Amino acid sequence: MNVRVLVAKVGLDGHDRGIKVVARLLRDAGMEVVYTGLFQTPESVAAAAIQEDVDVVGLSMLSGAHMTLAPLVVEALRQRGSEIPVVLGGIVPPQDLEELRELGVTAVFGPGASAAEIVTTIAGIVSHSL
């Protein structure tokens, strides 16, 4: 199975260490990874995800804006009729997890998530949604 993932930085957060490392680790695990660069909007991410026909969108947010921006990415996808699941990684305090799931974020990887956990979870989500 060829899993395609779009990894994206939405908003103004320039911290790109995590997203680049995770992207390479996903590639090491045999997935295809698309990265659209910094300062994306929810709309641009949704459009790219649909155009690239990816299986999962992975967001990386370390600036504290995740409660606002991550649900907007989910919304932008759904408005375009896409059911592509959205996962989120970064500085996300445990208190936010439940609300993020309610707002349609499929999985959240906190600051302590391991590479193995990220790879396994994404593979699981994809096989589930096929």
Partner 1 sequence: MTNESAQEEWRQLFDAAPIRPGTFATMSGIPLAPVYGPSSAEFPGVYPYTRGVHASMYRTKLWTMRMFAGFGTATDTNIRFREIIRAGGTGLSTAFDMPTLLGLDSDDPMSLGEVGRCGVAIDSLADVRDLFAGIDLGTITTSMTINSPAAVMLALFVAQAEESGVTRDQLGGTLQNDILKEYQAQKEFVFPPRQSMRLVRDTIAFTAAEMPKWNSISVSGYHIREAGSTAAEELAFTLANGFAYVELARQAGLEVDAVAPRLSFFFNAHIDFFEEIAKYRAARRLWAKWMKDHYNARDPKSWQLRFHTQTAGVSLTAQQPEINIARTAIEALAGVLGGTQSLHTNSMDEALALPSEKAARIALRTQQIIASETNVVNVADPLGGSWFVEELTDEMEREAEVIFAQIAKMGEGSMLEGCIRGIEENWFQGRISDSAYELERSFNSGERVVVGVNAFQEGNDEDDLATLRITNADEHKQLARLSQVRADRDDDQVRTAIERLTREAGDPELNLMPALIDAAKAYVTVGEMMSALADVFGRHVEVPSL
Q: Which residues bind partner 1 (CB under 8 A)?
A: 11-17, 20-21, 23-25, 27, 33, 35-39, 41, 63-65, 67-69, 91, 93-95, 110-112, 114-116
To partner 1, the closest distance from the beta carbon of 115 in angstroms equals: 5
Closest to partner 1 by CB, 42 or 130? 42
The minimum distance between CB 7 and partner 1, in angstroms, equals 9
Closer CB to partner 1, 12 or 129, in the complex: 12
Min dist. Cβ of residue 130 to partner 1 (A): 25
CB closer to partner 1, 47 vs 67? 67
Whichever of 20 and 129 has its CB closer to partner 1, that residue is 20
From CA 96, how far away is CA 119, in angstroms rounded?
A: 22
Token pair listed for 116: 């193995």
Distance of closest approach, residue 104 Cβ to partner 1, in angstroms: 16
**How far is the C-alpha of 109 from the C-alpha of 111, rounded, in Å?**
7
Inter-residue contact 35 to 62 (CB < 8 Å): no
- Terminal Cα distance for the chain, rounded: 10
